[in-house]
Amino acid sequence: MKFSILNIKSLSGSKAQIYSIKYEEKYASELKIFIDKFNDSHTEIVNEAIQRIQLIAQKEGVQDSFFRRECPKSHNVFRLLETKELRLYCIKLDSTILLFGYSGTKKFNKIKLKDNPSLQQEVKTLQKIEDAIKERIKKGELSITPEGLKGNLENLEI
């Protein structure tokens, strides 16, 4: 599966750089798809989520309590959005880099992660993406700098 990583400049700030995964077969990044998918039905929640991301990146910083871990400690897939209806997941590459991936409705996530194969699959895909990025960092193809991720962020593969 091929993907690119898009830096979203208007959401990024001095405390964190915001990125979103764009799968080759999809028309836009996952964060834009989140807005497109839910903005009509959950306008207020989507507005709040995007505003929260910007404030975390520009003012508050990536505080642990803002995120809920969704995977074993070997990986860093977290849920940012905790509302009655929507979920939004990201990879915390480090304390200054957030990479947004899958979003979904509560209906999808009604049962716990361990009993929900579809959601498990989404989280596993994000874990694979984290592995792929870390592998490239090891090889020196990507690097984490104070300005964010540097290197070729396009045509990556898991």
Chain residues binding other proteins by CB under 8 A are: 6, 8-11, 28-29, 31-32, 35, 39-40, 43-44, 47-48, 50-52, 54-56, 59-60, 63, 65-68, 81-83
DSSP 157: E
Q: Which of 13, 11, 1 is nearest to 32 (CA)?
A: 11
Q: What is the smallest separation between the CB atom of 48 and other proteins, expressed in angstroms?
A: 5
Q: What is the smallest separation between the CB atom of 138 and other proteins, expressed in angstroms?
A: 29
Question: Over the Cα atoms of the chain, what is R_g?
Answer: 15
Q: What is the smallest separation between the CB atom of 126 and other proteins, expressed in angstroms?
A: 19
Residue ranges in the chain assigned as alpha helix (H): 30-38, 43-55, 117-139
User: 47 or 152: whose CB is closer to other proteins?
Assistant: 47
- Whether residue 20 contacts residue 32, with contact meaning beta carbons closer than 8 Å, is answered with yes
User: 73 or 138: whose CB is closer to other proteins?
Assistant: 73
Which residue in this structure is represented by tokens 């039905």?
41
Q: What is the smallest separation between the CB atom of 131 and other proteins, expressed in angstroms?
A: 25
User: 138 or 155: whose CB is closer to other proteins?
Assistant: 155
Q: What is the smallest separation between the CB atom of 135 and other proteins, expressed in angstroms?
A: 26
Q: Which of 94, 158, 86 is nearest to 128 (CA)?
A: 158
User: 34 or 102: whose CB is closer to other proteins?
Assistant: 34
User: 4 or 120: whose CB is closer to other proteins?
Assistant: 4
Assign 3-class secondary structure to 24-53: CCCCCCHHHHHHHHHCCCCHHHHHHHHHHH
